[in-house]
Structure 1
Amino acid sequence: MTTILLIRHGEVEGITPPRFRGRTNLALTKRGITQAEQTRDAISDRWVLNAVYCSPLTRCVRTADAIASPFKLDVMPHHGLNDIDYGTWQGKLLTEVAQRWPNELTTWHSAPHTMRLPGGESLYEVLARATDALQTILHANHHGTIAIVAHDSVIRLLLCHALGLSPASYWLTSPSPCGISDLHFHEDRFTIHSINETQHLTERE
């Protein structure tokens, strides 16, 4: 059996007010660094990690580095875990997109699986590369516990995959910065033990 910890990266600029960050390479905020450290401590108290994988973007690499440090593991970036390509929406505030692409934004919020983001990816394309990455990771880790640090878009779709749901259920989950989802994989089947644990995150002044 393999235990898979899906972890969203720590806080970055652009979460509030909401901005379509996508492939923009953002650093963790001060709060994001604290979240990564708290997640490191929570994981090291409960699990022994055998491997840590992440998206190649800085916010995921830095979060993964923190999580891997107690176990003396090298973080392994995987391009299949990269954030969704928002195309022409990337870098824009939600309010800007609402003004310029009102119909497309309505579809994105109501039926995201039916569209390709203008100049960017569809959810099915993200799902394909993310599940390919997951299969590669599972093939290399038949036993033990692995951490995967990625983006909310990737985690939403991997949870849909594990639950046997289509991308039509994209909005069913809402991964928080440094939230932990605990999945087990055994005999070609996923078991979900928790989704988006955040009790380890506390504000520190």
Structure 2
Amino acid sequence: MPRILLIRHGQTEWNRRGIFRGRADVPLSPTGVRQMEALAARVAAERPARVYTSPLQRARASAQILCPEGAQPPQVVEGLTDMSYGEWEGKPEETVRDQYPDLYARWLAEPHQVRPPGGESLAEVQQRAAAALREISRALPTATVAVVAHRVVNKLLLCAALGLGAEGFWRVRQDTGCLNVLEGEADRLAVVLLNDTCHLQGLEGDAADF
């Protein structure tokens, strides 16, 4: 049975400043690099057979840090890429709240009913991310693998495993640099560990669910 180490990438400056990222290809901050180094030390004993990653550089850089010396390079999986926020991307949360007051209020109350202008819905993200995770699970059905993705992608994968649906989006936290563990068959994954950040204690800068 597969064991999936589902990881959120390390901090970026846009996370720290509360700016919507989505498909904007922002790099890790120095704190984000340290977060991933701490996580790499944490999961080293797991010896993942492969590391899979979103194509965005904040995830790819995180995945590379997780790869032990001499291991295969991270494998990019397009279905793990972050949600497209459309017109919200690159804007601080307070700007989005001011420019789209009604839509943003619905995003906070009923995120599964909202599509940012020019962006994706949670259902669309969940569908492609779940398909990607199934392919990963079936490719290495008895191995431990690491999967590095994004806040929205991880939340939706965890919601699916917990039976919450996309409407449970705000009931799951995903801090930067966090570790989740899933085990089981591809379509019946159990959540063993959720949003664990104990490896980040003592690092400068707090992990954040944004």
TM-score past 0.5 threshold:
yes
**Residue equivalent to 2:207:** none
Closer, same or farther: CA 192–70 of 1 in aligned 2, 3 Å: farther
**Residue equivalent to 1:41:** 41
**Residue equivalent to 2:200:** 201
TM-score (norm 2): 0.93
**Residue equivalent to 1:122:** 121
Closer, same or farther: CA 151–187 of 1 in aligned 2, 3 Å: closer
Which runs of no fewer than 5 residues in structure 2 stay unpaired? 205-210
Measure, in 1, the Cα distance between the counterparts of 2:133 and 2:39: 21
Aligned-pair CA distance for 1:165: 1.7
**Residue equivalent to 2:7:** 7
Aligned 8 A contact 1:55 1:149 in 2: yes
Q: Does 1:18 align with 2:18?
A: yes
Closer, same or farther: CA 154–98 of 1 in aligned 2, 3 Å: same
- SS of the counterpart of 2:5? strand
**Within 5 Å, which residues of 2 pair with 1:183-198?**
183-186=182-185, 188-198=187-197
Closer, same or farther: CA 189–119 of 1 in aligned 2, 3 Å: same
**Within 5 Å, which residues of 2 pair with 1:44-59?**
44-45=44-45, 47-59=46-58
Measure, in 2, the Cα distance between the counterparts of 1:81 and 1:96: 27
Measure, in 2, the Cα distance between the counterparts of 1:17 and 1:55: 22
Q: May I ask how many residue pairs the two structures share in their alignment? A: 204
Aligned 8 A contact 1:11 1:29 in 2: yes
- SS of the counterpart of 1:181? strand
Measure, in 2, the Cα distance between the counterparts of 1:87 and 1:204: 33
Measure, in 1, the Cα distance between the counterparts of 2:51 and 2:20: 26
Aligned-pair CA distance for 1:192: 1.4
For residues 5-45 of structure 1, what are the alpha-carbon distances to aligned partners after superposition, in whole Å with 9 as ceiling and x for unaligned? 11000010111331111111111111111111111100003
Which runs of no fewer than 5 residues in structure 1 stay unpaired? none
TM-score (norm 1): 0.95
**Residue equivalent to 1:107:** 106
**Residue equivalent to 1:83:** 82
